[in-house]
Amino acid sequence: MITIINDPAELKYSPLMTLYAEDLCAQAQAEYADRSVNEGLMCAEQDFYAYMTQVFLKTEGAYLALWDNYEAALRIEPYQDGYLLTGLVTAPHCRRQGYATRLLNAVVQILPDHAQLYSHVEKQNAASIAFHEKFGFEKRFPYGKMLNGELLHNFWTFSYGK
């Protein structure tokens, strides 16, 4: 069952950090290499939580979509002529069981009719590319265009809808 969170007070810190643990470990290694592993991870978690509660969930129209009890999650926010999907993750013990597909199907059902949905996927992330293509997304641009206009050349922009 889908849960939509758009109020920072509804966000549960521990399950969210557990779900995004792999991404946060990578962020800690990249941004906090000068610190111990645990200290770097703690900093990455605090950065992510601050972003979610102080920036993302305060953005008009943005929300975190969760499947059941934090088995899968994704973020949706307004973008260009539609919405941007980011942070699609599935808990390791739930992978290849359809959680991400069920979550994304539920999100697509609550988007406005004929809404364009975009997603930026790292070019090296074969599993995510395969998931997007299987779901029906199409490669649109050979870069990701951030909301601030920055181009990320190691990403594809996929689109779905219309």
Number of domains in the chain: 1
Provide the pLDDT confidence category of residue 140 given band limits of 50, 70 and 90. Answer: very high
Q: Average pLDDT in the 28-37 region? A: 94
> What three-state secondary structure class fits 137?
coil
Cα separation, 37 vs 127, in Å, equals 27
Q: What pTM value is reported for the model? A: 0.91
CATH code of residue 107: 3.40.630.30
Distance of CA 93 to the CA centre of its chain: 18
Asked whether residue 123 carries a pLDDT value surpassing 80, the answer given is yes
> What is the rounded distance in angstroms from the CA atom of residue 156 to the CA atom of residue 119?
8
CA distance 116 to 95: 26
Predicted confidence band of residue 17 (pLDDT cuts 50, 70, 90): very high
Spatial CB neighbours of 140, under 8 Å, sequence gap ≥ 6? 118, 156, 157, 158, 159
Sign of CA dihedral 6, 9, 13, 14: negative
Contact 46, 79 (CB under 8 A): no
Q: How confident is the model at residue 148 (pLDDT cuts 50, 70, 90)?
A: confident
Q: What is the pLDDT of residues 97-120, one digit of tens each?
A: 999 999 999 999 999 887 899 999
Question: Are the C-beta atoms of residues 81 and 116 closer than 8 Å to each other?
Answer: yes
The parent domain of residue 131 ranges over 2-160
pLDDT tens across 79-98, in order? 989 999 999 999 999 999 99
